[in-house]
Chains A and B, each alone.
Chain A
Amino acid sequence: MHRAGFISFVTRGGKHPPDPATIGTFEPEPLTTANVAHQRLWVGLKYNNNEPVLRTMSPITTPKRRVTANLRALERLVRGFDASYQKGLGIGECMFVTTDRGTLEIREAVEKKVGGLLLCRAGS
């Protein structure tokens, strides 16, 4: 999501959020057995002209039902056609795919010619 530009930062942190002004130099505290239970992921949301950059987000694969797509299906989805029981991508929409080359945005996956598990779709 960070690579796709939906969020401004994502970092591990404690109970209190990191300061967005100094996020470039923020170092999360080292993990210890004492603080590991309080750790969380802090995500910086982005806004452009008072409009959220990340407006909609919906899971595709759920713990109960995994949805995978091969390269052909991904290529169709990227071009806006329906495939793998998914609606094709519209304007400004992204899909995230977990592949054996790592978790990729769907266009990166098509570029690398790999299919995988469809995680979620996000749009503005």
Chain B
Amino acid sequence: MAALEAGEAAIDPKDLTIQGRIRRDPYRPPYLDDFSRILPIVDKQPRPHPPPEEKVKFMSEEEHASDLEKLIEDLTPKDVNFEGLTEEQIETVLNEKVDFDMAQAKYFEEHSTLVDNDKPSNSALAPSLGKNLRGVTGLYKPPVDPEDQGLDNEGEFQDLKKKSGLSVKDIKALHYHTKALVIRLVTNQTRLGKVQRQWVLAIAGNGNGRIGMGESKSVEISVATAKAKQLAILNMQPIPRYENRTIFGSVKAKVGATIVHLESRPPGFGLRASHRLFEIFRLAGIHDIAAKMPRGRNPMNSVKACMQALMNQPDPNEIAIGRGKKLVDVRKVYYGGEVL
């Protein structure tokens, strides 16, 4: 009030009479600077209570006992002098004055088990219990393995580490190069309606002759992608490469209506392939190849067919053994073996 009065005193009365107007238009507020009342729509609600404490603890056994003692003390009626009364009289007086059933129900249903937390609060949030909670910490979070050198504190790669036997450092290096190549929205028609999920196909490779493919489905695309990438790392397999740069001969693979035709190419040719196949070759560590898809170019089938083709390359050594011949690669015969 004092602030308001001071404010009013600061205004020149002349200004007030000339410039001060009382609004009479239909949109005027329903009050004339009446700060004695709180209008629930216009004014902010008062928040008289202090904010809840940052860190609260559960009561220990002694605190529980003293809390209960205090509660019983509060329940006992103050206006009765119990001195000189027999036990029966005390019981009748208590039964009259105190509603024991209600008090019991309130104690079990409403009474807080936190230290100092029966205070009224402005916040709808329960007070936070802090981070290191006795009996809870360590139970819902995988323990951090010191072997991981702090690389996986979230426990994201622990499952993969267990399954693949790789270290978290290696997994992270591979995971960095994984790529979700195909993402589709798939729908399951049930009697309750359409259930839509995301389907993700990811590939992983070490860029040096190992490649893997993983596919996963989930309502959440991030979950599906993470799972698909993990499966891709898990499914990594070596593929044969000629001179660590191209494939052996020409291979063809068909998945559905999609045919993928791969052909080996000389050094320096590069990757001439559609963008998805390009990613596969890059992760597989193939540097010279030509790929053709003469028919359908379905994203999923093209990736799957390409993987099939890479896995099913002819092996010249096996062919030579089958025919009883000796195999010699003459590519490195000329120019003193100086080939790219």
Residues of A whose CB lies within 8 Å of any CB of B are 4-6, 46-49, 51, 53, 90-92, 124
A9 to chain B, nearest CB (A): 13
B318 near A51: Cβ-Cβ < 8 Å? yes
Which secondary structure dominates where chain A touches chain B?
loop
B325 near A5: Cβ-Cβ < 8 Å? yes
B314 near A48: Cβ-Cβ < 8 Å? no
Q: How large is the interface on B (under 10, 10 to 19, 20 to 34, 35 or more residues)?
A: 10 to 19
B323 near A91: Cβ-Cβ < 8 Å? no
Residues of B within 8 A of A4 (CB): 323
B157 at the interface (CB under 8 A from A): no
Residues of A within 8 A of B314 (CB): 91-92, 124
A91 near B322: Cβ-Cβ < 8 Å? no
B319 at the interface (CB under 8 A from A): yes
B323 near A5: Cβ-Cβ < 8 Å? yes
A48 near B250: Cβ-Cβ < 8 Å? no
B248 near A91: Cβ-Cβ < 8 Å? yes
Residues of B within 8 A of A48 (CB): 318, 321-322
A5 near B316: Cβ-Cβ < 8 Å? no
B247 to chain A, nearest CB (A): 10
- When C-beta atoms are compared, the residue in chain A nearest to B263 turns out to be A90
User: Do A53 and B323 form a contact, CB below 8 Å, given A48-B318, A91-B314, A124-B314?
Assistant: yes
B323 near A51: Cβ-Cβ < 8 Å? no
User: Do A6 and B323 form a contact, CB below 8 Å, given A90-B249, A92-B249?
Assistant: yes
A124 near B319: Cβ-Cβ < 8 Å? yes
Residues of B within 8 A of A124 (CB): 314, 319, 322-323
Contacts across chains A and B counted by CB atoms under 8 Å: 34
Residues of B within 8 A of A47 (CB): 322
Q: Compute how far the CA of A86 lies from the CA of B250 in the bound complex, rounded to whole angstroms.
A: 16
Q: Compute how far the CA of A85 lies from the CA of B316 in the bound complex, rounded to whole angstroms.
A: 26
B337 at the interface (CB under 8 A from A): no
Mask for B298-330, Cβ within 8 A of A = 1, else 0? Answer: 000000000000000010101101111100000
Residues of B within 8 A of A51 (CB): 318, 322
Residues of B within 8 A of A49 (CB): 318
A93 to chain B, nearest CB (A): 9
Candidate in A48, A51, A53, A92 with the most chain B CB atoms within 10 angstroms: A92
Known: A49-B318, A51-B318. 13 other contacts (CB 8 A): A5-B322, A5-B323, A5-B324, A46-B322, A48-B321, A51-B322, A53-B323, A91-B250, A91-B316, A92-B316, A124-B314, A124-B322, A124-B323
User: Do A53 and B322 form a contact, CB below 8 Å, given A92-B314, A92-B316, A124-B314?
Assistant: yes
A104 to chain B, nearest CB (A): 16
Residues of B within 8 A of A6 (CB): 323
Residues of B within 8 A of A5 (CB): 322-325
Mask for B116-147, Cβ within 8 A of A = 1, else 0? Answer: 00000000000000000000000000000000
